[in-house]
Amino acid sequence: MSTPPAIETEGLGRDYGSVRALRALDLLVPAGALVGLLGPNGAGKTTAMLLLATILAPSRGTARIFGADVRRERIAVRRRLGLVFQETSIDGLLTVEENLRFAARLCGLGGPKLRAAVAEAIDRAGLGERAAQPARQLSGGWRRLVDVARATLHRPDLLILDEPTVGLDPEHRERIWTILATERRERGTAVLFSTHYLAEAEPADRVVLLAGGEVVASDTPAALRAAVGDEVAEMEGPGAERLARALRGLGSVVTFLKTERGFRVGLKGEREAVVALAMDAPGIEHLSLRPASLEDAYFARTRPGMR
């Protein structure tokens, strides 16, 4: 019998009064996959994650976690999940180890299993020297590591992480991604995460872009980048708009995006004509030609008027 998908949703939606926070999410996360949920603030990412985590009840649609319905089989769903919320879920009055023991109890662990799970989680997150320290004395990075250690403590089959690295320095971000990579490699854990650091989504098997409560793109990072163009010309200055429109007249322009500082134009194929046109353009303070990035795809798909 084949393993059911880690996440499978159809038309999953949620309203807050008259506000439609999530319209209709169709999402498929195979077991063991790494999927990024990206989008601007208010796009519906947190709502989607809370629905999958059984914290919120859906207004419409269906969602299954390893085949279990999030509405009717909440307990079965929760047993498979490890959660990291947008805000840290740590009790500052308890030590790191006490926080993890508490989390283990919430997972239903006790006795030797609890002790072993807590010891492994401390070891996995490199928290050994801080295990006896009150959590309120930890820096933001270490607190987030405790959160990740907590979420992985019972070795769940699916991790749902809402901006797990927000506000962290590169070192702590790296530590967190290393823990997650190890979980995936050793245990085949599926991971659904959201982030505003778009480079973190590059290794994902799939990226789902949300905007205004709906999915605006869903594909591999490479395919999303390719849809923007092979290269992106980025230009700033008073003459940027004129140049961008001139480039638009060339057949090689795939995407055309106005940013806060200028324009980004996605190009495919021949670049010589573009370079020649740009070199002669007046009023250009900055011009670069670089490979398309996930950030370009993000802007191209999530900006109002670009969808």
Partner 1 sequence: MSTASTVYGIVARDLVRATRQTSRLLGGLVRPFMWLLLVGTGYNAIARLEGGISYQAFVFPGVVVMASLFGAMLTAIATVYDREFGMLRLMLASPAGMPAVLVGRAVAAAVVGFTQGAVVLLFAPLVAPAPASALLAGCGALALSSASSAMLGLLVAARLTSVENFAGVINVVLFPLLFVSGALYPTSGMPSVLRALARVNPVTYQVDLMRHAFHQPVEFSATRGVLALAATTIVAFGLTALLFDPEQRFVGRQDPRDRPLTETQQPRSDAPA
The Cα 9–Cα 32 span in angstroms is 17
Q: Considering only CA atoms, which of 171, 168, 124 is closest in space to residue 144?
A: 168
Say if CB 257 and CB 306 are below 8 A apart: yes
Q: Is 53 in the site for partner 1 (CB under 8 A)?
A: yes
Q: Binding residue for partner 1 (CB under 8 A) from 6, 23, 34, 54?
A: 54
User: Taking the complex as a whole, how short is the minimal distance between the CB of residue 170 and partner 1, in angstroms?
Assistant: 25
Choose between 87 and 202: whose C-beta lies nearer to partner 1: 87
Min. distance of Cβ 108 from partner 1 in angstroms? Answer: 3
Among 6, 7, 12, 21, binds partner 1 (CB under 8 A): 21
State which of positions 57-116 bind partner 1 (CB under 8 A).
57, 59-60, 62, 71-72, 74-75, 78-79, 81, 83, 85-91, 93-94, 98, 101-110
Candidates 24, 28, 31, 55: give the one binding partner 1 (CB under 8 A): 55
Beta bridge partners, 262, equal 236
For the CB of residue 295, give the shortest distance to partner 1 in the complex, in Å.
Answer: 22
For residue 49, the minimal CB distance to partner 1 (Å) is 9
Torsion of CA 236, 298, 304, 255, to 10 degrees: 60
Length of the chain: 307
Q: Please state the closest distance from residue 298 (CB atom) to partner 1, in A.
A: 18
For CA atoms 17, 18, 22, 25, the dihedral sign is positive
Is 44 a residue that touches partner 1 (CB under 8 A)? Answer: yes
- CA torsion sign, 247 to 249 to 255 to 258? positive
Using the 8-state DSSP alphabet, how is residue 242 labeled? Answer: H
**Nearest Cα to 88, choosing from 142, 52, 45?**
142
Check binding of 50 to partner 1 (CB under 8 A). yes
Is the Cβ of residue 69 or residue 205 nearer to partner 1 in the bound state?
Answer: 69
In the complex, what is the shortest distance from the CB of residue 54 to partner 1, in angstroms, rounded to a whole number? Answer: 7
Residue in 67, 301, 46 with CA at minimum distance from that of residue 192: 46
Give the 3-state secondary structure of residue 158. strand
Interface residue list for partner 1 (CB under 8 A): 14-17, 19, 21, 41-42, 44, 46-47, 50, 53-57, 59-60, 62, 71-72, 74-75, 78-79, 81, 83, 85-91, 93-94, 98, 101-110
